[in-house]
């Protein structure tokens, strides 16, 4: 029973992390139909910005409790200019091109940004362990879990519900849904589609940066950090259906729980189990669990 509880807690924590990491990817695809490989770069930029600026904050003896706010602000402030610059200067002229061309451009940008990160932060690792341990621990099934993990779960819920509210309950969100459904008709109806694309790309990129910022206290922030997260994020959004918000949530929960089950009961298949779930889902639902019906165009 205790082990099952652990499986559940570990699964939920991992799912929350995965969902935060994958959310921006699915948002950008949903609105702009761009498979955004720079997602991994923004994750890394967020982690580096958070780790370096928060470390400086703590080193100067400022209140440790405010380090959580510093994590968030640092990631957003550093990532935002990159996001705006990339959308306005590089992606916008390419929207008329094929999706594959834009995919390749984002891949090229990913490689460039990997080197930019190294130029700015070097290759030595950054650590900020304090925020992870600062809030103490809680006990489940006789095991200690840092309370920081609860923050991750709360942040995942906040992001997911907040985005759903934004899309379905605000005027801007409803206009964005119109843009998702048909950009051409939306433009004809007077919606500034370009502005929505910019806002979506910036928001999606900031979500990736925030995922990196929230991960930074638990890892060594080193070059190459963004590579692994792209692969996992793609697995999650493909399972749920590219562009689907509930799909990303369900995909993250499925991957998190299945991985946790395998770690606890069959560790020898852990490496393979995430991709097995993805293959199984795609065999039954080739466009993912929550793929939206495509309007037929004449």
Residue 116: both structure tokens together: 């930019």
The encoded tokens of residue 21 equal 């990491």
Cβ contact 105:90 at 8 Å: yes
CB atoms within 10 A of CB 288: 24
Of residues 268 through 297, those in contact with another protein by CB under 8 A are 268, 270-271
Min dist. Cβ of residue 78 to another protein (A): 20
Determine which residue in the list 94, 153, 222, 292 makes contact with another protein, applying CB under 8 A: 222
CA pair distance 183, 192, nearest whole angstrom? 10
Cβ closer to another protein: 14 or 197?
14
Judged by CB under 8 A, does residue 124 bind another protein?
yes
Least distance to another protein, CB of residue 125, Å: 5
Q: Tell me the Ramachandran region of residue 192: left when phi exceeds 0, alpha when psi lies from -120 to 50, beta otherwise.
A: beta
Q: DSSP string spanning 68-118?
A: HHHHHHHHHHHHHHHHHHIIIIIIGGGTTS-HHHHHHHHHHHHHHHHHHHH
**Is 260 near another protein (CB under 8 A)?**
yes
Asked whether 210 and 72 are in contact (CB, 8 A), the reply is yes
Q: Does 61 bind another protein (CB under 8 A)?
A: no
Q: How far is the CB of 263 from another protein (least distance, A)?
A: 4
Does residue 192 bind another protein (CB under 8 A)?
A: no
Q: Which of residues 125-184 bind another protein (CB under 8 A)?
A: 125, 127, 129, 132-133, 137, 141, 143-146, 149
Smallest separation, CB 236 to another protein (Å): 13
Q: Which is nearer to another protein, 11 or 240 (CB)?
A: 11
Least Å distance between CB 11 and another protein?
A: 8
Place of tokens 């008329």: 96
Q: Which is nearer to another protein, 104 or 141 (CB)?
A: 141
Query: Rounded distance, CA 254 to CA 81, Å?
Result: 34
For 168, the token pair is: 């379905």
Shortest distance (Å) from residue 279 CB to another protein: 17
Q: Which residue has the tokens 């370009």?
A: 194
Residues 6+ apart with CB under 8 A from 92: 194, 197, 198
Residues that bind another protein in the complex, under the rule CB under 8 A: 2-3, 6-7, 9-11, 13-14, 17, 114, 118, 123-125, 127, 129, 132-133, 137, 141, 143-146, 149, 215, 217-220, 222-225, 227-228, 259-260, 263-264, 267-268, 270-271
């Amino acid at each position: 029973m205790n082990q099952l509880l652990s499986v559940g807690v570990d699964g939920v924590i991992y799912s929350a992390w995965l969902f935060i990491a994958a959310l921006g990817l699915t948002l950008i695809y949903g609105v702009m139909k761009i498979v955004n490989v720079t997602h991994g770069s923004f994750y890394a930029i967020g982690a580096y910005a958070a780790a370096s600026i928060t470390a400086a904050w703590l080193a100067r003896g400022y209140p440790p409790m405010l380090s959580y706010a510093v994590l968030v602000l640092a990631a957003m402030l550093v990532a935002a200019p990159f996001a705006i610059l990339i959308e306005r200067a590089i992606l916008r002229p390419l929207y008329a091109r094929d999706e594959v061309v834009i995919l390749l451009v984002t891949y090229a940008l990913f490689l460039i940004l990997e080197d930019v990160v190294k130029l700015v932060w070097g290759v030595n690792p950054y650590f900020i362990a304090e925020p992870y341990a600062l809030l103490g621990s809680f006990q489940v099934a006789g095991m200690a879990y840092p309370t920081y993990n609860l923050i991750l779960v709360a942040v995942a819920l906040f992001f997911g519900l907040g985005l759903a509210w934004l899309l379905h309950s605000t005027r801007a969100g409803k206009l964005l849904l119109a843009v998702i459904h048909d950009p051409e008709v939306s433009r004809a109806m007077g919606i500034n589609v370009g502005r929505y694309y910019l806002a979506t790309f910036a928001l999606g990129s900031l979500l990736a940066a925030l995922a990196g910022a929230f991960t930074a206290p638990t890892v060594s922030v080193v070059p190459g950090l963004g590579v692994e997260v792209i692969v996992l994020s793609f697995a999650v959004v493909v399972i749920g259906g590219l562009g689907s918000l509930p799909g990303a949530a369900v995909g993250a929960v499925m991957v998190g729980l299945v991985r946790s089950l395998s770690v606890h009961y069959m560790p020898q298949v852990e490496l393979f189990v995430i991709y097995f779930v993805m293959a199984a889902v795609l065999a039954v639902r080739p466009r993912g669990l929550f793929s939206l019906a495509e309007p037929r165009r004449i």
